[in-house]
Amino acid sequence: MLSAMKLLTRIFDSRSRRGLAYLLLVLPIDLLSFLLLVLGCLFGTVLLLTPLGTWLLALVLQGAAGLGGGRRALAARMLGDEVPAPAPPVAPGGGLFKWRRAVLQDPVSWRILAYALIKPPVAVLSLALAGGFYLYGLISLIYLPFYEGVLGVEAVAILVTSVILLLLGPWMLRSVLGIERMLIRGLLGPTRANQRISDLQDSRDRAVKHADITLRRIERDLHDGAQARLIGVGMHLAIVRELIGAQASTEQVVAAVDAAQDTLATAVAELRDLVRGIHPPVLDAGLEAALATVAAGSAVPVTVEVCLPQRPPPALESIAYFTVCELLTNAGRHSGARNASIRVDLSGDVLRLRVRDDGQGGAYQRAGGGLAGLSERIRVVDGELQIDSPPGGPTIVTVEIPCPAAEEPPQHQRPGSKGLGAASGLPVPR
* Sequence spans of domains, the chain: 2-190, 203-278, 282-405
Cβ atoms 312, 351 nearer than 8 A: yes
In the predicted model, what is the mean pLDDT of residues 322-334?
80
Residue 236 vs residue 176, higher pLDDT: 176
In the predicted model, what is the mean pLDDT of residues 293-322?
83
Instruction: Please state whether the peptide bond connecting residue 394 to the residue before it is cis, i.e. omega within 30 degrees of 0.
Output: yes
pLDDT higher than 80, residue 369 = no
Cβ atoms 71, 83 nearer than 8 A: no
The pLDDT value recorded for residue 145 is: 62
CATH topology of domain 282-405: Heat Shock Protein 90 (3.30.565)
In the predicted model, what is the mean pLDDT of residues 326-332?
80
Band (420; pLDDT cuts 50, 70, 90): very low
**Amino acid, res. 308:** L
This prediction has a pTM of 0.50
In three-state secondary structure terms, 251 is: helix
Cα torsion at 19, 179, 123, 26 (round to 10°)? Answer: 50
In the predicted model, what is the mean pLDDT of residues 377-404?
82
Q: Which of 106-120, 262-276, 383-397 has the lowest mean pLDDT?
A: 262-276
Band (1; pLDDT cuts 50, 70, 90): very low
The pLDDT value recorded for residue 91 is: 59
pLDDT higher than 50, residue 270 = yes
Query: What are the start-end ranges of the H helices in 279-353?
Result: 287-296, 314-330
Radius of gyration of the chain (CA): 33
Strand partners, 356: 341, 396
Query: Distance (Å, rounded) from C-alpha 220 to C-alpha 102?
Result: 50
**What residues contact 244, with CB distance under 8 A and at least 6 apart?**
253
The pLDDT tens digits of the residues spanning 89-139 come to: 765 666 788 888 888 888 888 888 888 889 889 989 988 888 887 877 777
The pLDDT value recorded for residue 32 is: 92
- Residue 371 Cα distances to 44, 377, 385, angstroms: 53, 10, 9
Q: CA geometry: angle at 33 spanning 29 and 39, to 5°?
A: 155
Task: Name the helix (H) or strand (E) containing 342.
Answer: strand 340-347
Can you state the percent helix, strand and coil of the chain, rounding each to 5?
70, 10, 25
Band (169; pLDDT cuts 50, 70, 90): confident
Handedness of CA 400, 406, 408, 410 (dihedral sign): negative
Strand partners, 340: 302, 357
Most confident of 193-202, 211-220, 237-246, 349-358: 349-358
pLDDT higher than 70, residue 348 = yes
Percent residues over pLDDT 90 in the chain: 1
Band (195; pLDDT cuts 50, 70, 90): low
Task: Name the helix (H) or strand (E) containing 354.
Answer: strand 350-357
